[in-house]
Each structure stands twice: as structure tokens, then as C-alpha cells.
Amino acid sequence: MKNRLKLLRAEKGWTQQQLGDALGVSRQAVNALETEKHDPSLDLAYRIAALFAQPVEAIFDNPHA
């Protein structure tokens, strides 16, 4: 799923490890999301949105729209 996660992380100056720690996931999980190899669970998508104070739709593109 297309997303803006890498851009948002870079704007904060965070490493993948720092973002992973904030979300309770591994650095590898963050990398898989950023490279669009894996889609986030609904729970994780909402945690990411809350962390960046943005709606889920502003971070992740809806592939069914």
C-alpha cells in the first residue's frame, strides 16, 4: 500500500529504529512498511496516524478508492 511514512519520519528526523520504538514494532517492520513490502494492520495504521497527528487517509492511500 502506498504511503507517506518515510517522508513523515524524515520530517521528524527519526530513524527507522526510533519510529519502531515509538510504535512498538521492529526497525525491520518499519522498513517493510516504508518500502511497501507489507501493509500495516488496522491497529498499527491508527497508531501511526495518532503518532503523526494525521488521519489515516493522509498517510496511507486507499487501494480500493
Q: What is the pLDDT of residues 22-50, one digit of tens each?
A: 999 999 999 999 999 999 999 999 999 99
Q: Are 6 and 63 in contact (CB under 8 A)?
A: no
CB atoms within 10 A of CB 60: 19
Rounded Cα–Cα distance for residues 39 and 36 (Å): 7
Residue with cell 515509538: 22
Three cell numbers, residue 54: 494525521
Three cell numbers, residue 46: 491508527
User: What's the pLDDT score for residue 62?
Assistant: 84
- pLDDT band of residue 64 (cuts 50, 70, 90) is confident
User: What's the pLDDT score for residue 18?
Assistant: 98
